[in-house]
A and B are shown apart, each in its own frame.
Chain A
Amino acid sequence: MELKITTLKKSILATSISVLFTSANAYAAADDSHKMHQLYQDNCASCHGSDHGGYLAPALNSETLKGRSPTALRTLIMTGSFETLMPPFFGRLSDNDIRDMVKHLQSTPKLANPAFTIKDMKASLKVYVKDESKLPNKPTFKIDSMDDIIGVAARGKYGRGDGSEAVFINSKTHQQIGVVPTVTAAHIIEFSPANERWAYVKTDTAEIYKVDLYTMQAVRSIKTGWNGPGIGISRDGKYLMAGSFVPHNAVILDAETLEPLKQFELEGIDPDGNMVSSDSGMIIGTPYADIFAIALENAGQVWVVDLKDDFPVTKIKNVGRHLHDAFLTHKGKKLMIASYDDSIVAAIDLEKREIIKKLPAGCVPHVGGGAAVKVDGRTLGFGTNFGTCDKTVVSVWDLDTMELVKQVPVSGGTESPAAHANAPYVAVDIITKDRRARTIQLIDKKSLEVVKTLDVGGHAYFPEYSADGKSLYVSAGYAGDEVVVYDSTSLQKTGSIQMESPAGIFSRGRVKYMTRGLSPDEME
């Protein structure tokens, strides 16, 4: 009897303890999941996507990580991944957090398209300089021409924090003239074609900074989405258009105040007949008209938005499967846009708003900012492509006849070409993930052959010529941590500017020649 009671008591005690434990566990689990979600957003989302769907870096969710060894994932997070932008989190996150993060990633599905509304944008607007009219009316530093300014998107090793900034350089002296810190990695820098003092910096996490180049400071910023680098500026400098990967929308902003004016849901019928919601690809303003062109990556459409009334849209459909980036030609009337999955570059007539032709473009074309040069009366366009394929080539097209001229063999996949009317070579960055990634190759404009390979050190990418064409700038990113400068004819190294993980390089000269390699005279 005694025994029985004791047993009963014990079992009641055990039950209540187990109840206590269960609820404590449930509470801890919910708390953990919330904590891990926040940790993911704060450390991983700017590259891997706020929705776990991938962005600059692979998708991390229960589907993509199915069957992967948790130990291997933990090691990868601790040490980072060589030859990629993935940094080491050892010492930044505790070992327990790293273990919990692996569990979190392997159990979290890709999230539904999270909203980011005009209201969210308005709430994120920050004003750093209240009265812009009181700013000095000329540069506060010595420079011959504002076109000599080159902006570099410095990612910072962790894609956020102290190393993340837009760095501005005088491309004649190769000296840094200003730094504008950004919350996460700077990705794209656009210069106003109408007023030399303004530049716009967009980050991986869709913040846009309006930068006063005369005083080298941000005057305003706004967040336009969760992730997405797309940004363009209208020819009159009055409007910006920004597009996101997460969520699937785009917005037109007043370039002066950064106030959002109209939001667009990006969706449409893809070339295979499916109605899809779409990431925003490139957005471009053109010197030819008051319009923006925007690529709907997944829907395979290019939308032309007129900058009048309620910003009406003309949709050009069936352009290609998975559109990405583009460049302009013929005074901005024609657009050459890369389509990853069909390995073509589509030529679009922005005046007639129709497809002219689809041109072969190597495998997985990524044209970067594009390049076009005039040689012997012909306008030649250069297209890079980064797919893994048997032969790696740079495609050269005659942009007047829209015919393929040549596919120039290069040593690996390429991401971005650079050219200048006054420079003899078209530079392309080799990005194949081995020692070749340290190099850029130079294609002679006339012979259309690779004539030189430069070992830049670090992961060399995003070549850009200075506005005068005399210097070639290249980012030695990843572990290189410097921008290297070469004389564009002798190819001797003439400068080095230190910064953390530099990526895209943008010359202010671009606003004059529209597409790199064309002469400003063509524009008049």
Chain B
Amino acid sequence: MALSAEEAALINEYVHGDRERAATQFVRHYQRFVYGIALRHLDGNHDDACDVAQETFIRALRHLDRFKGESSIQTWLYRITVNTCLSFRRRWRRHQRLSDVVESDDELPSTIPMPDRQLEDHEFVDRLHAMLSKLPPKQRETFYLRYVEGLSYEEISGILGVSVSGLKANYFHAVRKIAALLGRPIPPGEKR
């Protein structure tokens, strides 16, 4: 997928123009997108998602001047974010094993969700995350990218590597399952 004019201008500004300004603009433009991915891959933990988003942008900016535009920036950022989440989880598991060895129990693991934290201020996000965590990954990602981020099926197809017809099915079933979680009955025979 070719770069949009806006994306190309941003990269051009970063490479040839005011690098610092372009970097700030780049992060501001995609921070919600990256944060949302990280949040879904890190059990809804806000602090971890922020850390991973920050690391993702630092990695991305390190390579932005060599970005070829073979995929959209969102596809590229999605991959970096998911990889950064995996690294983060690996680091956390290693840290947890070490903590087990020294029997340190004075600090809560950061991936344990804290239900009372910021629920009042972020009711919709946390409630949606609770629902999405019960869906299969493809349906969860499709619903989020389509409904929350408002991406086209073509864009999501580029990101997830699923056909447009497959995405439409994923989206529909995701919505139906969330409806069921909200107390709406799923008709018998419908795919779960």
* A complexed with B: no
Chain B residues with a Cβ under 8 A of chain A: none
Chain A residues with a Cβ under 8 A of chain B: none
